[in-house]
Amino acid sequence: MKPSIPKGTRDFGPIEMARRNYIFSTIRSVFALYGYSQIETPAMENLSTLMGKYGEEGDKLLFKILNSGDFMKSVDPAMLENPDSLRITSKISEKGLRYDLTVPFARFVVQHRNELQMPFKRFQIQPVWRADRPQKGRYREFYQCDADVVGSDSLINEIELIQLVDEVFRRLRINIAIKLNNRKVLSGIAELIGAPEKLTDITVAIDKIDKIGIEKVNDELRERGLSEEAVSRIQPILEISGSTDERLSRLEEVLSGSEIGQLGIKELREVIDGVTSLGLNAVLELDVSLARGLNYYTGTIIEVKALDVAIGSITGGGRYDNLTGVFGMPGLSGVGISFGADRIYDVLNALDLYPAEAAFSTQVMFVNFGDAEAMASMKMLKEMRLAGIKGEIFPDKAKMKKQMGRADALGIPFVAIIGESEMAEGKLTLKNMATGEQSLLTPAEAVEAIKACVKQ
């Protein structure tokens, strides 16, 4: 009888919302500070837009919307003799829920190409849906917060994005390391060992080095068909040590035979020099094993790790050269970053880093002693709200204990009491719930008292 919600989805109550809004509004403010403007796309996209963009596995994880009306009439009766769900899906469903913000963004850019000013800098904060098996920290509905700039090859975009990431986490007070790599270095490595066609296998395997260690990565490289010689040539690269400068120089030597590898190192140097010279709050780490799984990236790769909590990457991104090619608009380069709101939420919870503003926001509750007192209270409350105070009045003439209990339970810091004597004087008794202190004040004085307390 008790109603429930679909597995893998969540309700967010007032406290969770206040905390999530704090994260989103921090990210949103920094996006705006860096000149990104917001767009929104529909929750539903045509399946023709979504299918084939996330691999075969991704196609299965799309939530598909049943066509309206008599959808069965589009299914050939012959198809029903031996019903195949996959084939029937294409007959009874035309739309799906968005799986990420990247494909809808690419679709948006192509559809609105004539209205956009290039380079186009957009951010987007919206939920996405995936029919994944739910587990701890993995949901079927979750928010993504993406910023991308398309239509410019300049590495200034990378430098700006890294600064943006640094500023977001500085404001959230989360200590981070920003890991950096370049896909062209990975291509250089594949070229060096004479297996450029194995680039995907190599990156997928070495991406796991942090999780499974160098030995298991080697096993996986062998399983993926690399020769013993090739595996051994990868080793020194994965083990290069020293300062960032030393490692870049060493890498430059090792990859001296690869043009694309050299280009990757040049790009890394330029980004690192730029960011370093501008100054960074975060630790910046060159990580040659960083690949972020996706084949999608063609240049800079960025990943953010929280330093004080053991959790996967909390933000990631990189440069891609062909975002919109699949929609018939080739050659558009871009670079983007995606903040993992749910993991950032977990980190803030683990470290208890929420500021006072990320809590229930009502500042004062007026107690209700009866009709006349309530009317006098509402008049004062109106005046205080006009001065920016967030307040409410207990709507019913309940027992004092019950009314105070509400303020207590909700963490409302002040209670305003208006009885006969207060009414006669046009004043209110303001009670500070933390200290118990009470003062008889005019509404204007109460506004000042509440504002002064918030500032502390």
Residue 354, classified by CB atoms within 10 Å of its CB into exposed (0-12), middle (13-18) or buried (19+), is middle
Q: How far is the CB of 344 from a copy of itself (least distance, A)?
A: 17
Q: Is 4 in the site for a copy of itself (CB under 8 A)?
A: yes
CA distance 220 to 225: 9
Q: Is 374 in the site for a copy of itself (CB under 8 A)?
A: yes
Which tokens is 252 given?
A: 């430059």
Instruction: Find all residues with CB under 8 Å of 349, minimum gap 6, and list them.
Output: 19
Q: Is 283 in the site for a copy of itself (CB under 8 A)?
A: no
Q: Is 331 in the site for a copy of itself (CB under 8 A)?
A: no
Q: Is 11 in the site for a copy of itself (CB under 8 A)?
A: yes
CA distance 55 to 417: 63
Question: With respect to a copy of itself, which residue has the nearer C-beta, 86 or 310?
Answer: 86
Neighbours of 303 (CB within 10 A): 22
Q: Is 396 in the site for a copy of itself (CB under 8 A)?
A: yes
Instruction: Find all residues with CB under 8 Å of 341, minimum gap 6, and list them.
Output: 20, 23, 24, 27, 142, 143, 144, 145
Query: Which span sits near a copy of itself by CB under 8 A: 236-244, 288-296, 388-396, 433-441?
Result: 388-396
Q: Which letter, b or e, does each residue of 149-160 get, where b requires 16 or more Cβ atoms within 10 Å of its Cβ?
A: bbbbeebebbbb
- String of contacts with a copy of itself for each residue 15-34, x by CB under 8 A: --xx--x----------xxx
Q: How far is the CB of 292 from a copy of itself (least distance, A)?
A: 23
Binding to a copy of itself (CB under 8 A): which residues in 177-196? none
Query: Which span sits near a copy of itself by CB under 8 A: 202-210, 237-245, 297-305, 384-392?
Result: 384-392
Q: Which of 56, 57, 70, 239 binds a copy of itself (CB under 8 A)?
A: 70
Q: Is 439 in the site for a copy of itself (CB under 8 A)?
A: no
- String of contacts with a copy of itself for each residue 242-281, x by CB under 8 A: --------------------------------x--xxx--
Instruction: Find all residues with CB under 8 Å of 251, minimum gap 6, and list them.
Output: 185, 237, 240, 261, 265, 288
Residue with tokens 């970053």, as numbered in its chain = 337
Q: Is 362 in the site for a copy of itself (CB under 8 A)?
A: yes
Binding to a copy of itself (CB under 8 A): which residues in 199-238? none
Which tokens is 344 given?
A: 């950032």
Q: Is 60 in the site for a copy of itself (CB under 8 A)?
A: yes
Question: With respect to a copy of itself, which residue has the nearer C-beta, 139 or 305?
Answer: 139
Q: Which of 56, 57, 115, 239 binds a copy of itself (CB under 8 A)?
A: 115
Q: Is 58 in the site for a copy of itself (CB under 8 A)?
A: no
Q: Which of 307, 372, 375, 434 binds a copy of itself (CB under 8 A)?
A: 375
Q: How far is the CB of 307 from a copy of itself (least distance, A)?
A: 23
CA distance 447 to 430: 10
C-alpha separations of 308 from 178, 189, 353, 419 in Å: 14, 32, 12, 52
Beta pairing partners, 147: 123, 337
Q: How far is the CB of 370 from a copy of itself (least distance, A)?
A: 11
Beta pairing partners, 66: 93
Q: Is 294 in the site for a copy of itself (CB under 8 A)?
A: no
Instruction: Indicate left, alpha or beta for 413 from its phi (over 0: left) and psi (-120 to 50: alpha).
Output: alpha
Instruction: Find all residues with CB under 8 Å of 143, minimum gap 6, and list them.
Output: 20, 24, 125, 126, 127, 128, 341, 342
Q: Is 154 in the site for a copy of itself (CB under 8 A)?
A: yes
Q: Is 127 in the site for a copy of itself (CB under 8 A)?
A: yes
